[in-house]
Amino acid sequence: MAEDDPALREQLRAALTDAGYVVDAVDNGIDAAHLGASEPLDAVVLDLGLPGMDGLAVLRHWRSEDIQLPVVVLTARGTWQERVLGIDAGADDYLAKPFEMEELIARVRAVLRRAAGHGSTQLQLGPVTLDTRRCKVSVDGRAVALTPHEYRLLAYLLHHQERVVSRTELTEHIYAQDHDRDSNTIDVFIARLRRKLGADVIHTVRGLGFQAREP
């Protein structure tokens, strides 16, 4: 997330965190361009009015480097010309300030679903259902309580069903950039999820990582 207004940046960080996302936040375009090019981000909320390098320039840079991460653009300039510029630069969605935080979260969920090829707010795998809108998980209709890290890990695996995901990739996506990342804890979270969801939902692919696939 790239936003130069300190108060709004912290509001965005809190709202996205409460919605179950790990948030890396920067306050200028130069850091945003570097973060998007160097970190395996799932999506970006990008303000256009950034100092150092404006949001459109950041977005055009990413697209010129074939960095195709989903981007929701924010701007205080809500004219149709600005929307056209943002979309032509490669934005996946566009939101004019001021906005409701719930709408932003919904748009983030939508671009993530589209990027993963999912049309519904609910991700299904065998008896397991993950509701991305309410951040709830159930097995055969029975609610299952997960910790934030367990939820993030499961959500990432379900967004990428059938694909083998390495421990390193999971670590990068469940911990913020400034967190002390320890890939060894992934095995602990996987073991907990298997106890709560069933042993056949998450499979270990020896030497490569983990895979969520139909039991």
Residue boundaries of the structural domains of the chain:
6-116, 122-212
Q: Which among 2, 12, 5 has a CA at the least distance from the CA of 53?
A: 2
The yes or no reply on domain 6-116 and CATH 3.90.1660.10 is no
**Band of pLDDT at residue 129, cut at 50, 70 and 90:** very high
**Band of pLDDT at residue 177, cut at 50, 70 and 90:** low
> Which top CATH class is 122-212?
mainly alpha
Q: Report the C-alpha gap between 200 and 211 in whole angstroms.
A: 10
Strand partners, 165: 210
User: With 80 as the cut, is the pLDDT of residue 179 above it?
Assistant: no
Q: Which among 159, 94, 106, 89 has a CA at the least distance from the CA of 130?
A: 159
**Residue 15, Cβ neighbours under 10 Å: how many?**
16
The per-residue pLDDT for range 19-76, each reduced to its tens digit, is: 989 899 999 999 999 999 998 899 999 999 999 999 999 999 999 999 989 999 998 8
pTM tops 0.75: no
Helices (H) and strands (E) in the chain, counts: 8, 9
Q: Given CA atoms 119, 120, 122, 128 in this order, what sign does their dihedral have?
A: negative
Q: Which among 21, 29, 23 has a CA at the least distance from the CA of 4?
A: 29
6-116 shares its CATH topology with 122-212: no
Q: For the chain, how many residues are written?
A: 215
Q: Report the C-alpha gap between 181 and 6 in whole angstroms.
A: 26
The predicted pLDDT at position 178 comes to: 55
Q: Which among 140, 106, 148, 141 has a CA at the least distance from the CA of 20?
A: 148
